[in-house]
Chain A
Protein backbone atom coordinates (compact mmCIF):
# COMPACT_ATOMS: atom_id res chain seq x y z
CA UNK A 1 0.00 0.00 0.00
CA UNK A 2 2.74 2.44 0.90
CA UNK A 3 4.94 1.23 -1.95
CA UNK A 4 6.41 4.11 -3.96
CA UNK A 5 7.83 4.20 -7.43
CA UNK A 6 11.55 3.71 -7.16
CA UNK A 7 12.20 7.03 -8.82
CA UNK A 8 14.02 5.50 -11.80
CA UNK A 9 12.86 5.25 -15.40
CA UNK A 10 13.56 1.99 -17.27
CA UNK A 11 16.73 3.56 -18.71
CA UNK A 12 17.97 4.33 -15.21
CA UNK A 13 17.34 8.04 -15.38
CA UNK A 14 15.75 9.60 -12.35
CA UNK A 15 12.07 10.45 -12.67
CA UNK A 16 11.42 13.93 -11.44
CA UNK A 17 8.87 13.82 -8.68
CA UNK A 18 5.95 16.11 -9.49
CA UNK A 19 6.08 19.35 -7.55
CA UNK A 20 3.81 19.94 -4.64
CA UNK A 21 0.73 21.91 -5.50
CA UNK A 22 -0.68 24.86 -3.59
CA UNK A 23 -4.33 24.52 -2.65
CA UNK A 24 -6.80 26.48 -0.59
CA UNK A 25 -9.42 24.79 1.54
CA UNK A 26 -11.81 26.31 4.02
CA UNK A 27 -11.45 23.94 6.94
CA UNK A 28 -13.79 24.39 9.89
CA UNK A 29 -14.45 27.97 8.83
CA UNK A 30 -10.82 28.95 8.35
CA UNK A 31 -9.37 29.60 4.89
CA UNK A 32 -6.30 27.40 4.81
CA UNK A 33 -3.49 27.34 2.27
CA UNK A 34 -1.28 24.32 2.05
CA UNK A 35 1.09 22.63 -0.33
CA UNK A 36 0.53 18.96 -0.96
CA UNK A 37 1.82 16.28 -3.28
CA UNK A 38 -0.85 15.16 -5.76
CA UNK A 39 -1.18 11.75 -4.11
CA UNK A 40 -2.05 13.20 -0.70
CA UNK A 41 -5.57 12.18 0.21
CA UNK A 42 -7.84 14.69 1.87
CA UNK A 43 -7.63 12.48 4.96
CA UNK A 44 -3.83 12.68 5.08
CA UNK A 45 -3.92 16.42 4.40
CA UNK A 46 -6.23 16.93 7.37
CA UNK A 47 -4.30 14.68 9.73
CA UNK A 48 -0.68 15.13 8.68
CA UNK A 49 -0.62 18.68 7.27
CA UNK A 50 -3.25 20.40 9.42
CA UNK A 51 -2.93 18.29 12.60
CA UNK A 52 -6.67 17.69 12.60
CA UNK A 53 -6.39 14.17 13.93
CA UNK A 54 -10.03 13.89 14.97
CA UNK A 55 -10.74 12.40 11.56
CA UNK A 56 -9.58 8.80 11.77
CA UNK A 57 -7.84 6.51 9.33
CA UNK A 58 -9.48 3.12 9.70
CA UNK A 59 -9.31 0.98 6.57
CA UNK A 60 -8.10 3.71 4.16
CA UNK A 61 -10.25 2.03 1.46
CA UNK A 62 -13.70 3.53 1.91
CA UNK A 63 -15.08 0.51 3.69
CA UNK A 64 -15.29 1.63 7.32
CA UNK A 65 -16.40 5.27 7.37
CA UNK A 66 -13.98 6.38 10.12
CA UNK A 67 -12.63 9.10 7.80
CA UNK A 68 -16.04 10.63 7.06
CA UNK A 69 -16.01 14.43 6.82
CA UNK A 70 -18.37 16.98 5.30
CA UNK A 71 -17.23 18.55 2.04
CA UNK A 72 -19.44 21.42 0.88
CA UNK A 73 -21.98 20.10 3.38
CA UNK A 74 -22.03 16.52 2.09
CA UNK A 75 -20.55 13.52 3.85
CA UNK A 76 -17.78 11.73 2.00
CA UNK A 77 -14.93 9.31 2.71
CA UNK A 78 -11.89 11.57 2.95
CA UNK A 79 -9.56 8.61 2.30
CA UNK A 80 -10.87 8.24 -1.27
CA UNK A 81 -10.39 11.75 -2.57
CA UNK A 82 -7.24 13.71 -3.27
CA UNK A 83 -6.67 16.99 -1.49
CA UNK A 84 -5.82 18.64 -4.82
CA UNK A 85 -9.21 17.61 -6.19
CA UNK A 86 -10.88 19.55 -3.37
CA UNK A 87 -9.30 22.90 -4.25
CA UNK A 88 -11.67 25.65 -3.07
CA UNK A 89 -13.89 23.29 -1.07
CA UNK A 90 -15.37 23.86 2.35
CA UNK A 91 -14.47 21.03 4.72
CA UNK A 92 -15.97 20.36 8.12
CA UNK A 93 -14.35 17.81 10.41
CA UNK A 94 -15.44 16.68 13.86
CA UNK A 95 -13.29 19.48 15.31
CA UNK A 96 -15.49 22.04 13.54
CA UNK A 97 -18.91 20.90 14.73
CA UNK A 98 -19.00 22.55 18.17
CA UNK A 99 -20.06 26.19 18.11
CA UNK A 100 -18.89 28.73 20.68
CA UNK A 101 -17.93 26.13 23.24
CA UNK A 102 -21.21 24.23 22.86
CA UNK A 103 -21.17 20.72 21.49
CA UNK A 104 -23.11 20.06 18.31
CA UNK A 105 -26.50 18.56 19.29
CA UNK A 106 -25.45 15.22 17.78
CA UNK A 107 -22.22 15.23 19.81
CA UNK A 108 -24.28 15.82 22.94
CA UNK A 109 -26.70 13.08 21.88
CA UNK A 110 -23.82 10.61 21.54
CA UNK A 111 -22.96 11.35 25.19
CA UNK A 112 -26.61 11.19 26.28
CA UNK A 113 -27.07 7.78 24.65
CA UNK A 114 -23.63 6.32 25.37
CA UNK A 115 -23.27 5.86 21.61
CA UNK A 116 -19.65 4.73 21.63
CA UNK A 117 -17.26 2.46 23.42
CA UNK A 118 -13.69 2.70 22.12
CA UNK A 119 -14.49 5.90 20.23
CA UNK A 120 -12.39 5.28 17.16
CA UNK A 121 -15.30 5.31 14.72
CA UNK A 122 -17.08 8.12 16.57
CA UNK A 123 -15.82 11.20 14.64
CA UNK A 124 -16.84 9.51 11.39
CA UNK A 125 -20.18 8.39 12.84
CA UNK A 126 -20.93 11.92 14.02
CA UNK A 127 -19.94 13.61 10.75
CA UNK A 128 -21.95 11.00 8.87
CA UNK A 129 -24.93 11.56 11.15
CA UNK A 130 -24.74 15.33 10.66
CA UNK A 131 -24.71 14.72 6.90
CA UNK A 132 -27.64 12.32 7.17
CA UNK A 133 -29.73 14.84 9.11
CA UNK A 134 -28.93 17.55 6.53
CA UNK A 135 -30.03 15.24 3.71
CA UNK A 136 -33.47 14.95 5.31
CA UNK A 137 -34.22 11.53 3.78
CA UNK A 138 -34.17 9.28 6.85
CA UNK A 139 -37.19 9.24 9.13
CA UNK A 140 -37.53 5.72 10.51
CA UNK A 141 -35.01 3.61 12.37
CA UNK A 142 -34.73 1.36 9.31
CA UNK A 143 -33.89 4.35 7.13
CA UNK A 144 -31.29 5.63 9.60
CA UNK A 145 -29.66 2.19 9.77
CA UNK A 146 -29.56 1.90 5.98
CA UNK A 147 -28.16 5.40 5.43
CA UNK A 148 -25.57 4.92 8.20
CA UNK A 149 -24.36 1.57 6.83
CA UNK A 150 -21.17 3.15 5.55
CA UNK A 151 -19.98 3.61 9.14
CA UNK A 152 -18.78 0.48 10.86
CA UNK A 153 -18.61 0.27 14.69
CA UNK A 154 -16.70 -2.80 15.80
CA UNK A 155 -17.74 -2.23 19.41
CA UNK A 156 -21.33 -2.64 18.24
CA UNK A 157 -22.78 0.60 19.58
CA UNK A 158 -25.26 0.71 16.71
CA UNK A 159 -28.55 0.84 18.66
CA UNK A 160 -27.26 3.78 20.70
CA UNK A 161 -25.92 5.54 17.60
CA UNK A 162 -29.37 5.26 15.99
CA UNK A 163 -30.96 6.56 19.19
CA UNK A 164 -28.58 9.53 19.26
CA UNK A 165 -29.42 10.42 15.66
CA UNK A 166 -33.14 10.05 16.33
CA UNK A 167 -32.89 12.36 19.34
CA UNK A 168 -31.10 14.98 17.28
CA UNK A 169 -33.59 14.72 14.42
CA UNK A 170 -36.52 15.10 16.81
CA UNK A 171 -35.05 18.18 18.46
CA UNK A 172 -33.91 19.96 15.30
Chain B
Protein backbone atom coordinates (compact mmCIF):
# COMPACT_ATOMS: atom_id res chain seq x y z
CA UNK B 1 0.00 0.00 0.00
CA UNK B 2 1.04 3.62 -0.43
CA UNK B 3 2.45 5.45 2.58
CA UNK B 4 0.47 8.23 4.22
CA UNK B 5 0.11 10.21 7.40
CA UNK B 6 -2.46 9.24 9.99
CA UNK B 7 -4.33 11.30 12.55
CA UNK B 8 -7.34 10.74 14.76
CA UNK B 9 -10.19 13.20 15.03
CA UNK B 10 -11.57 13.96 18.48
CA UNK B 11 -15.00 15.22 17.47
CA UNK B 12 -16.94 16.38 14.41
CA UNK B 13 -15.62 19.94 14.57
CA UNK B 14 -12.05 18.66 14.86
CA UNK B 15 -12.57 16.30 11.91
CA UNK B 16 -13.89 19.11 9.72
CA UNK B 17 -11.05 21.38 10.82
CA UNK B 18 -8.40 18.76 10.06
CA UNK B 19 -9.92 18.08 6.65
CA UNK B 20 -9.98 21.77 5.73
CA UNK B 21 -6.34 22.09 6.81
CA UNK B 22 -5.26 19.06 4.73
CA UNK B 23 -6.73 19.16 1.22
CA UNK B 24 -5.12 15.83 0.28
CA UNK B 25 -6.62 14.05 3.27
CA UNK B 26 -9.50 11.61 3.44
CA UNK B 27 -11.69 10.50 6.30
CA UNK B 28 -11.56 6.83 7.19
CA UNK B 29 -14.24 4.96 9.13
CA UNK B 30 -14.91 1.32 8.18
CA UNK B 31 -12.18 1.47 5.57
CA UNK B 32 -13.57 -1.45 3.58
CA UNK B 33 -13.73 0.47 0.31
CA UNK B 34 -11.09 3.16 0.82
CA UNK B 35 -8.27 0.81 1.87
CA UNK B 36 -9.08 -1.50 -1.02
CA UNK B 37 -8.85 1.45 -3.43
CA UNK B 38 -5.58 2.53 -1.83
CA UNK B 39 -4.12 -0.94 -2.33
CA UNK B 40 -5.17 -0.66 -5.98
CA UNK B 41 -3.49 2.75 -6.25
CA UNK B 42 -6.83 4.34 -7.23
CA UNK B 43 -7.07 6.49 -4.11
CA UNK B 44 -3.85 8.19 -2.98
CA UNK B 45 -4.62 10.26 0.12
CA UNK B 46 -1.67 12.02 1.71
CA UNK B 47 -3.27 11.69 5.11
CA UNK B 48 -6.03 9.61 6.66
CA UNK B 49 -8.18 11.22 9.33
CA UNK B 50 -9.56 8.44 11.50
CA UNK B 51 -13.12 9.35 12.50
CA UNK B 52 -13.98 6.05 14.18
CA UNK B 53 -13.89 7.63 17.63
CA UNK B 54 -16.48 10.30 16.84
CA UNK B 55 -19.76 10.10 18.79
CA UNK B 56 -21.88 9.16 15.77
CA UNK B 57 -22.79 5.62 16.75
CA UNK B 58 -26.33 6.12 18.04
CA UNK B 59 -29.63 5.02 16.51
CA UNK B 60 -32.41 7.04 18.10
CA UNK B 61 -36.06 7.69 17.45
CA UNK B 62 -36.94 11.27 16.52
CA UNK B 63 -39.85 13.31 17.96
CA UNK B 64 -41.75 13.11 14.65
CA UNK B 65 -41.72 9.31 14.68
CA UNK B 66 -38.68 8.83 12.47
CA UNK B 67 -35.25 7.39 13.14
CA UNK B 68 -31.87 9.11 13.23
CA UNK B 69 -28.95 6.84 12.40
CA UNK B 70 -25.47 8.00 13.33
CA UNK B 71 -23.00 7.96 10.45
CA UNK B 72 -20.73 5.46 12.24
CA UNK B 73 -23.39 2.85 12.98
CA UNK B 74 -22.08 -0.35 11.37
CA UNK B 75 -24.20 -1.81 8.58
CA UNK B 76 -24.73 -5.05 10.54
CA UNK B 77 -25.94 -3.24 13.66
CA UNK B 78 -28.35 -1.21 11.56
CA UNK B 79 -29.76 -4.24 9.75
CA UNK B 80 -30.36 -6.02 13.05
CA UNK B 81 -31.58 -3.00 15.03
CA UNK B 82 -35.01 -3.90 16.48
CA UNK B 83 -36.66 -0.67 15.27
CA UNK B 84 -35.25 -1.12 11.77
CA UNK B 85 -36.33 -4.75 11.68
CA UNK B 86 -39.86 -3.88 12.79
CA UNK B 87 -40.57 -0.54 11.15
CA UNK B 88 -38.13 -0.32 8.23
CA UNK B 89 -37.68 -3.96 7.15
CA UNK B 90 -36.95 -2.89 3.58
CA UNK B 91 -33.78 -1.23 4.89
CA UNK B 92 -32.78 -4.28 6.94
CA UNK B 93 -33.37 -6.53 3.94
CA UNK B 94 -31.38 -4.35 1.54
CA UNK B 95 -28.42 -4.17 3.91
CA UNK B 96 -28.40 -7.95 4.39
CA UNK B 97 -28.47 -8.41 0.61
CA UNK B 98 -25.12 -6.66 0.29
CA UNK B 99 -21.50 -7.56 1.02
CA UNK B 100 -20.58 -10.20 3.62
CA UNK B 101 -21.14 -10.24 7.37
CA UNK B 102 -17.47 -9.39 7.98
CA UNK B 103 -17.74 -6.32 5.76
CA UNK B 104 -21.09 -5.29 7.24
CA UNK B 105 -19.50 -5.47 10.71
CA UNK B 106 -16.88 -2.94 9.56
CA UNK B 107 -18.70 -0.72 7.06
CA UNK B 108 -20.34 2.42 8.41
CA UNK B 109 -23.64 4.02 7.47
CA UNK B 110 -21.96 7.13 6.10
CA UNK B 111 -19.31 5.11 4.29
CA UNK B 112 -21.94 3.01 2.56
CA UNK B 113 -23.31 6.19 1.00
CA UNK B 114 -19.83 7.27 -0.08
CA UNK B 115 -18.53 4.00 -1.54
CA UNK B 116 -17.21 4.24 -5.08
CA UNK B 117 -18.30 2.33 -8.15
CA UNK B 118 -16.94 -1.16 -8.83
CA UNK B 119 -16.52 -0.45 -12.57
CA UNK B 120 -13.52 -2.55 -13.65
CA UNK B 121 -11.93 0.39 -15.44
CA UNK B 122 -12.23 2.67 -12.43
CA UNK B 123 -10.12 0.08 -10.59
CA UNK B 124 -7.68 -0.50 -13.45
CA UNK B 125 -5.15 2.36 -13.41
CA UNK B 126 -3.73 1.20 -16.76
CA UNK B 127 -6.93 2.26 -18.56
CA UNK B 128 -8.63 5.62 -19.12
CA UNK B 129 -11.47 6.48 -16.73
CA UNK B 130 -13.16 9.86 -16.40
CA UNK B 131 -14.19 9.13 -12.84
CA UNK B 132 -10.64 8.30 -11.76
CA UNK B 133 -8.85 10.74 -14.03
CA UNK B 134 -11.19 13.43 -15.42
CA UNK B 135 -10.84 13.96 -19.16
CA UNK B 136 -9.03 10.68 -19.83
CA UNK B 137 -12.06 9.01 -21.42
CA UNK B 138 -14.45 6.17 -20.57
CA UNK B 139 -13.16 2.66 -21.25
CA UNK B 140 -16.48 1.03 -20.40
CA UNK B 141 -18.66 2.60 -23.08
CA UNK B 142 -16.93 0.58 -25.80
CA UNK B 143 -15.41 -2.00 -23.49
CA UNK B 144 -16.71 -4.67 -21.16
CA UNK B 145 -19.90 -3.15 -19.79
CA UNK B 146 -22.01 -6.05 -18.59
CA UNK B 147 -22.37 -4.62 -15.07
CA UNK B 148 -22.86 -1.03 -16.18
CA UNK B 149 -25.69 1.48 -16.16
CA UNK B 150 -28.72 1.63 -18.45
CA UNK B 151 -30.33 4.75 -17.00
CA UNK B 152 -29.02 8.28 -16.57
CA UNK B 153 -25.72 7.57 -18.30
CA UNK B 154 -23.58 10.16 -20.08
CA UNK B 155 -20.92 10.08 -22.77
CA UNK B 156 -18.40 10.49 -19.96
CA UNK B 157 -19.41 7.64 -17.65
CA UNK B 158 -21.70 4.61 -17.46
CA UNK B 159 -20.70 3.45 -13.97
CA UNK B 160 -23.24 2.28 -11.42
CA UNK B 161 -23.57 3.05 -7.72
CA UNK B 162 -22.90 -0.26 -5.99
CA UNK B 163 -24.90 0.10 -2.77
CA UNK B 164 -27.94 -1.96 -1.81
CA UNK B 165 -28.59 -0.03 1.39
CA UNK B 166 -28.86 3.24 -0.52
CA UNK B 167 -31.64 1.90 -2.76
CA UNK B 168 -33.77 1.32 0.33
CA UNK B 169 -32.81 4.71 1.79
CA UNK B 170 -33.85 6.36 -1.48
CA UNK B 171 -37.24 4.65 -1.36
CA UNK B 172 -37.72 5.67 2.27
CA UNK B 173 -37.05 9.36 1.43
CA UNK B 174 -34.17 9.49 3.89
CA UNK B 175 -32.27 12.70 4.61
CA UNK B 176 -28.52 13.02 4.95
CA UNK B 177 -27.19 15.25 7.73
CA UNK B 178 -23.77 16.74 7.02
CA UNK B 179 -21.44 19.11 8.86
CA UNK B 180 -18.95 21.48 7.26
CA UNK B 181 -16.63 24.32 8.19
CA UNK B 182 -19.43 26.87 8.01
CA UNK B 183 -22.63 25.13 8.93
CA UNK B 184 -24.57 21.92 9.15
CA UNK B 185 -27.06 21.13 6.42
CA UNK B 186 -29.56 18.45 5.44
CA UNK B 187 -29.58 16.92 1.97
CA UNK B 188 -32.60 15.05 0.60
CA UNK B 189 -31.50 11.55 -0.37
CA UNK B 190 -32.49 12.07 -3.99
CA UNK B 191 -30.09 15.03 -4.13
CA UNK B 192 -27.18 13.35 -2.36
CA UNK B 193 -25.94 11.11 -5.18
CA UNK B 194 -25.66 12.64 -8.63
CA UNK B 195 -25.70 11.53 -12.25
CA UNK B 196 -22.34 11.49 -14.03
CA UNK B 197 -22.96 14.21 -16.63
CA UNK B 198 -19.66 15.83 -17.53
CA UNK B 199 -18.21 15.43 -14.05
CA UNK B 200 -18.29 11.73 -13.17
CA UNK B 201 -15.45 12.31 -10.70
CA UNK B 202 -18.13 13.65 -8.34
CA UNK B 203 -20.30 10.84 -7.00
CA UNK B 204 -22.22 13.04 -4.59
CA UNK B 205 -23.09 16.64 -3.76
CA UNK B 206 -21.10 16.47 -0.51
CA UNK B 207 -18.59 19.33 -0.28
CA UNK B 208 -14.85 18.57 -0.03
CA UNK B 209 -14.70 19.66 3.61
CA UNK B 210 -18.05 18.22 4.65
CA UNK B 211 -18.67 15.08 6.67
CA UNK B 212 -21.78 12.92 6.88
CA UNK B 213 -22.99 12.88 10.48
CA UNK B 214 -26.31 11.04 10.27
CA UNK B 215 -29.01 9.58 8.06
CA UNK B 216 -32.58 10.33 9.09
CA UNK B 217 -35.63 8.28 8.19
CA UNK B 218 -39.14 9.74 8.17
CA UNK B 219 -41.87 7.91 10.09
CA UNK B 220 -43.31 6.10 7.08
CA UNK B 221 -41.61 2.70 6.87
CA UNK B 222 -43.84 0.58 4.57
CA UNK B 223 -43.39 -2.40 6.93
CA UNK B 224 -46.48 -4.26 5.68
CA UNK B 225 -45.88 -4.22 1.93
CA UNK B 226 -42.28 -4.12 0.80
CA UNK B 227 -39.53 -6.15 -0.77
CA UNK B 228 -35.88 -5.87 -1.75
CA UNK B 229 -35.25 -8.13 -4.73
CA UNK B 230 -31.63 -8.41 -5.85
CA UNK B 231 -30.61 -10.19 -9.05
CA UNK B 232 -26.92 -11.06 -9.39
CA UNK B 233 -24.52 -13.52 -10.96
CA UNK B 234 -24.17 -15.62 -7.79
CA UNK B 235 -26.64 -15.92 -4.97
CA UNK B 236 -24.67 -14.16 -2.28
CA UNK B 237 -21.82 -11.72 -1.87
CA UNK B 238 -22.03 -10.18 -5.34
CA UNK B 239 -23.05 -6.76 -6.62
CA UNK B 240 -26.46 -6.35 -8.18
CA UNK B 241 -27.03 -6.66 -11.89
CA UNK B 242 -30.44 -5.24 -11.09
CA UNK B 243 -32.09 -4.72 -7.73
CA UNK B 244 -35.55 -3.42 -6.91
CA UNK B 245 -36.79 -1.87 -3.69
CA UNK B 246 -40.58 -1.78 -3.80
CA UNK B 247 -42.79 -0.31 -1.07
CA UNK B 248 -46.56 0.06 -1.18
CA UNK B 249 -49.39 1.31 0.98
CA UNK B 250 -52.61 -0.46 0.11
CA UNK B 251 -56.27 0.25 0.81
CA UNK B 252 -57.70 -3.18 0.21
CA UNK B 253 -56.10 -3.94 -3.17
CA UNK B 254 -55.93 -0.29 -4.24
CA UNK B 255 -52.49 1.30 -4.21
CA UNK B 256 -52.52 4.44 -2.05
CA UNK B 257 -48.78 5.12 -2.11
CA UNK B 258 -46.00 3.53 -4.14
CA UNK B 259 -42.23 3.75 -4.01
CA UNK B 260 -39.96 2.10 -6.51
CA UNK B 261 -36.17 2.19 -6.37
CA UNK B 262 -33.65 0.49 -8.65
CA UNK B 263 -30.06 -0.51 -7.93
CA UNK B 264 -27.33 -1.66 -10.29
CA UNK B 265 -28.71 0.34 -13.19
CA UNK B 266 -27.52 3.92 -12.71
CA UNK B 267 -24.89 6.22 -11.23
CA UNK B 268 -27.22 6.73 -8.27
CA UNK B 269 -30.05 4.84 -6.60
CA UNK B 270 -32.75 5.27 -9.25
CA UNK B 271 -36.27 6.47 -8.59
CA UNK B 272 -38.80 7.44 -11.21
CA UNK B 273 -41.65 9.74 -10.12
CA UNK B 274 -43.74 8.94 -13.21
CA UNK B 275 -43.54 5.20 -12.56
CA UNK B 276 -44.64 5.70 -8.97
CA UNK B 277 -47.46 8.01 -10.08
CA UNK B 278 -48.59 5.34 -12.53
CA UNK B 279 -49.21 3.02 -9.59
CA UNK B 280 -51.16 5.33 -7.29
CA UNK B 281 -54.91 4.79 -7.31
CA UNK B 282 -54.65 1.62 -9.40
CA UNK B 283 -55.56 -1.88 -8.31
CA UNK B 284 -52.46 -3.82 -7.28
CA UNK B 285 -51.87 -6.28 -10.07
CA UNK B 286 -49.91 -7.26 -13.14
CA UNK B 287 -51.39 -4.55 -15.39
CA UNK B 288 -50.38 -1.65 -13.15
CA UNK B 289 -47.03 -3.22 -12.32
CA UNK B 290 -46.13 -3.79 -15.97
CA UNK B 291 -47.07 -0.24 -16.84
CA UNK B 292 -44.92 1.11 -14.00
CA UNK B 293 -42.03 -1.03 -15.19
CA UNK B 294 -42.38 0.19 -18.77
CA UNK B 295 -42.52 3.78 -17.54
CA UNK B 296 -39.43 3.36 -15.34
CA UNK B 297 -37.44 1.89 -18.23
CA UNK B 298 -38.74 4.09 -21.03
CA UNK B 299 -35.48 6.02 -21.09
CA UNK B 300 -33.20 3.00 -20.67
CA UNK B 301 -30.28 2.55 -23.02
CA UNK B 302 -28.32 -0.68 -23.32
CA UNK B 303 -24.68 -1.02 -24.35
CA UNK B 304 -22.88 -3.96 -25.98
CA UNK B 305 -23.04 -6.33 -23.01
CA UNK B 306 -25.71 -4.98 -20.68
CA UNK B 307 -28.82 -4.57 -22.84
CA UNK B 308 -30.20 -7.66 -21.09
CA UNK B 309 -30.59 -5.51 -17.99
CA UNK B 310 -33.52 -3.65 -19.53
CA UNK B 311 -35.70 -6.73 -19.77
CA UNK B 312 -34.28 -8.10 -16.52
CA UNK B 313 -35.18 -4.86 -14.72
CA UNK B 314 -38.65 -4.85 -16.24
CA UNK B 315 -39.35 -8.37 -14.98
CA UNK B 316 -37.71 -7.70 -11.61
CA UNK B 317 -39.92 -4.62 -11.08
CA UNK B 318 -43.09 -6.59 -11.80
CA UNK B 319 -41.94 -9.42 -9.52
CA UNK B 320 -40.91 -7.06 -6.73
CA UNK B 321 -44.19 -5.13 -6.83
CA UNK B 322 -46.03 -8.46 -6.72
CA UNK B 323 -44.00 -9.53 -3.68
CA UNK B 324 -44.70 -6.21 -1.99
CA UNK B 325 -48.43 -6.26 -2.74
CA UNK B 326 -48.75 -9.83 -1.49
CA UNK B 327 -46.82 -9.13 1.70
CA UNK B 328 -44.27 -11.80 0.76
CA UNK B 329 -40.93 -9.97 0.80
CA UNK B 330 -37.87 -11.62 -0.71
CA UNK B 331 -35.91 -13.67 1.84
CA UNK B 332 -32.21 -12.84 1.81
CA UNK B 333 -31.25 -16.30 3.08
CA UNK B 334 -33.59 -18.67 1.25
CA UNK B 335 -32.80 -17.77 -2.33
CA UNK B 336 -35.98 -18.97 -3.97
CA UNK B 337 -37.86 -16.10 -5.59
CA UNK B 338 -41.58 -16.29 -4.88
Interface residues of A (CB under 8 A from B): 1-5, 17-18, 21, 37-39, 41, 60-62, 65, 68, 74-77, 80-82, 84-85, 128, 131-132, 135, 137, 140, 142-143, 145-151
Contact = CB atoms under 8 A, between A and B. Distances in A.
Contact of B105 (A4, A37, A76, A143): A76
A146 B3 contact: no
A137 B31 contact: no
Nearest to B236: A149
Give 10 nearest A-B pairs by CB, closest first: A150-B100, A38-B6, A149-B236, A149-B237, A146-B333, A143-B333, A142-B333, A39-B1, A74-B105, A150-B102
26 contacts: A3-B41, A18-B4, A18-B6, A39-B1, A39-B3, A39-B4, A62-B36, A76-B105, A76-B106, A77-B32, A80-B36, A80-B103, A80-B106, A81-B31, A81-B35, A128-B101, A128-B102, A140-B333, A146-B236, A146-B332, A146-B333, A147-B333, A149-B100, A150-B99, A150-B101, A150-B103
Given A62-B103, A82-B31, A85-B52, A1 B334 contact: no
Contacts of A149: 100, 236-237
Interface of B: 1-6, 28, 31-32, 35-36, 39-41, 48, 50, 52, 76, 80, 96, 99-103, 105-106, 236-237, 332-335
Given A80-B32, A80-B35, A75 B101 contact: yes
A131 B2 CA distance: 31
A61 B236 contact: no
A148 B236 CA distance: 10
Contacts of B31: 80-82, 85
Given A146-B236, A150-B101, A82 B35 contact: yes
B235 to A, nearest CB: 8
Contacts of B28: 82, 85
B299 to A, nearest CB: 34
| Most chain B beta-carbon contacts within 10 A, residue among A77, A84, A135 | A77
Nearest to A81: B31
A1 B40 contact: yes
Contacts of A18: 3-6
Given A38-B4, A39-B2, A145 B35 contact: no
A5 B3 contact: yes
Contacts of A65: 100, 102
